[in-house]
Structure 1
Amino acid sequence: MNQKSSSQGALAGVRILDMATVLAAPMGATLCADHGAEVVKLELPDGSDALRGLQPVKDGNALWWKIANRGKRGITLDVRQPEGRALLLKMLPHFDVLVENFRTGTMDRWGLDIETLNRANPRLIVLRLTGFGQTGPYKSRPGFARIFEAMSGFTNLTGEEGGSPLHSNFPVGDAVAGLFCAFSIASEIARLRGNPEAAGVEVDLAATEALFRLLDPLPVEHEQLGQVRNPAGNCASYTAPSNMYRSADGIYFSLVASSNAIFARLCAVVGRPEWSSDARFATNPARVANLRELDDALGTWFHGHEYALIADRLEAAGIPFSKVYTIADIEEDAHYQARNAIIRLPDPDYGSLPAPCIVPRIVGREMPTPRTGPAVGEHNAQVYAEFGIDAQELARLRAEGVV
């Protein structure tokens, strides 16, 4: 079961042309690269992708770009120019997937409408990831992660009760859309592999809908119970106890004891075994109804003890909890270390850079470590040579600003 016998990912043989910018759609292509797909990253010749300017940046090198676009070869091409458009269409028969995230209608204006793309490659999967989709009154609006998060209802679930909703200090909306992007590609590749005669398809992926899809109970609880779920701080409003607590020595930790059995064990840990049979707390609905009273009592007990003692007792009782980790905690954690959850990506500027491991792990398969994302046009000569463009022709195209 544990023998590592293969380095071929499930998407080996799949060729993806990633002409998307910033994070969401490129992340989807990167996840596919992690599992064996060959991904070519297409940028404008000026290297103006906004991700190259987002922090962290060191020595003029875009570190986030290097990690987010790992495992890809990089080329430049201005598809807005007639010669650039023609070159793209020449390449498309050699790709299975085209990923783009321009505002709805942009590709059409460049002469790259879906009919033109389909003529170039009838089996091409064209994945369009936009903020709001290819239809509807908002289809042409620009979108960023925080806009998706706010509009999906996700942001309204964060923050303190009665206070301002809060965004995370990370573009969660982009990451979720990227996951749906990879899922969409893998799903359509499975369909095409199962039928050699099947035609390609246009995938209309709206980032706002991707995030909303995760929020299953919101519509049904509104319709059937007339409830609108709002921010509740770190306290869950659907199960209890489930909150963030602080120890006497200032350590914040998250704890969930929502099942009756786990709650009974927690009661024993804090020296209140009678709570497990108290009508106020004996069931989850009762605990939710009396949430403030229960949480105040738990918070008082935790605040009176140092974290090391709390952690020992919770661990011994089998109660789910965790200190709120920083990246430094992750790096030092024995479990993360045992699973090699942080890998080193080979990099031409720094030798190697740390990044999260490939997820998921497939038993019996050892995937090769990808290198960091490419420099602007790093693989122009290599990739374009595969399409019959020699060094002299490439130099001409570069001089004319096509590549």
Structure 2
Amino acid sequence: MTMTTSAAGPLQGLKVLELGQLIAGPFAAKTLADFGADVIKIEPPGSGDPLRQWRLLHNGTSVWWQVQSRNKKSVTLDLRQPEAREIVRRLADEADILIENFKPGVMENWGLGYEALSRSNPGLIMLRISGYGQTGPYKDRPGFGVVAEAMGGLRHLTAEPGRVPVRVGVSIGDTLASLHGVIGVLMALHHRHRTGRGQVVDVALYEAVFNCMESLLPEYSAFGVVREPAGSALPGIAPSNAYPCRDGWVLVAGNGDSIFKRLMHAIGRDDLGQDPQLATNVGRVARVEEIDAAIGAWTRERGVTEVLEALAAAQVPAGRIYTARDIAEDPHYRARDMILPVRTHDGLTVEVPGIVPRLSETPGGIRRRAPVLGEDTDAVLKEAGLTEAQIAQLRERGVI
């Protein structure tokens, strides 16, 4: 396992209690854990977080688990039982941050809402990720990332014109919400440093998507224009598209004024590069079909590698469309430690994504593998003040 050069990380000393499952809450906790936070993940006895069983499994456990739960401790608690909820309260009293992504109201029904927990721990920061947020007319609706992507405006644009909108290919709505949640937590920590007071960070999945939708709303507000799907093109910015080669596709972004001239020279179309009507983006957008046709005619006669080498020499941004194999074999990924090996509890060595972002003085790292279910229950409960006899009784009654 690759360890960080800084054993601590910038978030050393922060205690995080993770009550979420699957993607949104756990991804936020994973990000904090990567940078040194002590994350205690609460899972139901027996099955644990459903992500343990998602996608491809090795010996019954998802290899995705090795990414999402690295650097965390696993404690099993049956939150349906009062004794388990009392343990959560004890752990929350010592925590800096609590992360949950249940449907609004669930934590309150358990007696674990922010108002209750902050009475004994006023500095507690609670990150709450849900489909529609903690307030509003939709708050009680079940909300998953795919629905949020649709409501946030993204799904309408991920299509070829006139064809069915498709998903991005990963759970982007959940991940965007997680990252917004981490930003909110860090801002709340800054506020607590000055005031000593915690607060709630309320992140709605659809709002996290909506926050990344660029000019979508102001264009409608100012001009009544509804942005429509454009396939691989970048509407209103030209040229920027995917172009066919003999053996695949390349993405070319020649939409800067000087870049466009270099691109046209590289493909032997100085007539377009020197055309005064195409000197700015406005003119190029008006003739984008002509420009795309010229680029496509040049790329079709060449292989992907030849195209990329020619455009790199011309200082034109371009790239191939990577598969997992391309990523695993790319030297740049390796040089920047974006691919790291970890060893699972049962001996499998698997490569996982590296740590993002890169900090020069206090980098994050992988300090421990993802835990097996309940691996840290006894140790964490002993730290919380429970005796071995009490822990044994809780296990006998199925609380842990």
SS of equivalent residue, structure 2 residue 42: strand
Aligned residues of 1:275 and 1:282 also touching (Cα < 8 A): no
| Corresponding residue of 1:243 | 241
Decide which of 203, 211, 220 is 2:218's aligned counterpart. Answer: 220
SS of equivalent residue, structure 1 residue 232: coil
Alpha-carbon separation, structure 2, partners of 1:89 and 1:165: 44
Q: CA deviation at 1:138?
A: 0.9
Quickly say closer, same or farther: Cα 1:333–1:239, change in 2 above 3 A: same
| Corresponding residue of 1:341 | 338
Q: CA deviation at 1:186?
A: 1.5
Alpha-carbon separation, structure 2, partners of 1:238 and 1:370: 46
Task: Kindly provide the amino acid, as one letter, of the partner of residue 70 in structure 1.
Answer: R
Q: CA deviation at 1:280?
A: 4.5
Alpha-carbon separation, structure 2, partners of 1:139 and 1:347: 39
| Corresponding residue of 1:179 | 179
Alpha-carbon separation, structure 1, partners of 2:338 and 2:25: 23
Aligned residues of 1:280 and 1:290 also touching (Cα < 8 A): no
- Say yes or no: does 1:136 pair with 2:133: no
Matches within 5 A, 1:270-281: 270-281=267-278
| Corresponding residue of 2:99 | 99
Q: CA deviation at 1:175?
A: 1.1
Alpha-carbon separation, structure 1, partners of 2:113 and 2:364: 36
- Say yes or no: does 1:292 pair with 2:307: no
| Corresponding residue of 1:387 | 384
| Corresponding residue of 1:230 | 228
Alpha-carbon separation, structure 2, partners of 1:81 and 1:300: 67
> What is the TM-score with the length of structure 1 in the denominator?
0.95
Q: CA deviation at 1:351?
A: 4.4
- Greater shift in the superposed pair: 207-216 or 109-118: 109-118
Q: CA deviation at 1:222?
A: 0.6
Which string of whole-angstrom CA distances, capped at 9 and with x for unpartnered residues, describes residues 344-403 of structure 1? 224212343211111111113454423332111110111111012222221210121111
| Corresponding residue of 2:319 | 322
Task: Kindly provide the amino acid, as one letter, of the partner of residue 183 in structure 1.
Answer: I
Which string of whole-angstrom CA distances, capped at 9 and with x for unpartnered residues, describes residues 81-126 of structure 1? 1111212112212101111111011111122232211123111111
Q: Runs of 5+ in structure 2 lacking a partner?
A: none
Which string of whole-angstrom CA distances, capped at 9 and with x for unpartnered residues, describes residues 102-155 of structure 1? 101111112223221112311111111001001111101112111111110011
Quickly say closer, same or farther: Cα 1:350–1:6, change in 2 above 3 A: closer
Alpha-carbon separation, structure 1, partners of 2:137 and 2:272: 53
Q: Runs of 5+ in structure 1 lacking a partner?
A: none
Alpha-carbon separation, structure 1, partners of 2:262 and 2:215: 29
Alpha-carbon separation, structure 2, partners of 1:25 and 1:91: 18
Q: Percent identity?
A: 37
Decide which of 377, 381, 397 is 1:400's aligned counterpart. Answer: 397
SS of equivalent residue, structure 1 residue 67: helix
Task: Kindly provide the amino acid, as one letter, of the partner of residue 156 in structure 1.
Answer: H
SS of equivalent residue, structure 1 residue 310: helix
SS of equivalent residue, structure 1 residue 80: coil
Aligned residues of 2:17 and 2:91 also touching (Cα < 8 A): no
Quickly say closer, same or farther: Cα 1:366–1:182, change in 2 above 3 A: closer
- Greater shift in the superposed pair: 61-70 or 19-28: 61-70
Aligned residues of 1:159 and 1:165 also touching (Cα < 8 A): yes
| Corresponding residue of 1:352 | 349
> What is the TM-score with the length of structure 2 in the denominator?
0.95
Computed over aligned residues only, the root mean square deviation of the Cα atoms, in angstroms, reads 1.6
Q: What is the total number of aligned residue pairs between the two structures?
A: 397
Q: CA deviation at 1:313?
A: 0.9
Q: CA deviation at 1:5?
A: 7.1
Aligned residues of 1:38 and 1:72 also touching (Cα < 8 A): yes
Q: CA deviation at 1:220?
A: 0.7
Alpha-carbon separation, structure 1, partners of 2:31 and 2:8: 15
Aligned residues of 1:5 and 1:364 also touching (Cα < 8 A): no
Alpha-carbon separation, structure 2, partners of 1:296 and 1:350: 53
Matches within 5 A, 1:26-37: 26-37=26-37
| Corresponding residue of 1:156 | 156
Task: Kindly provide the amino acid, as one letter, of the partner of residue 370 in structure 1.
Answer: R
SS of equivalent residue, structure 2 residue 156: helix
| Corresponding residue of 1:202 | 200
Aligned residues of 1:347 and 1:371 also touching (Cα < 8 A): no
Alpha-carbon separation, structure 1, partners of 2:5 and 2:91: 34
Alpha-carbon separation, structure 1, partners of 2:33 and 2:148: 25
Aligned residues of 2:48 and 2:373 also touching (Cα < 8 A): no
Task: Kindly provide the amino acid, as one letter, of the partner of residue 170 in structure 1.
Answer: V
SS of equivalent residue, structure 1 residue 345: strand
Q: CA deviation at 1:177?
A: 0.9
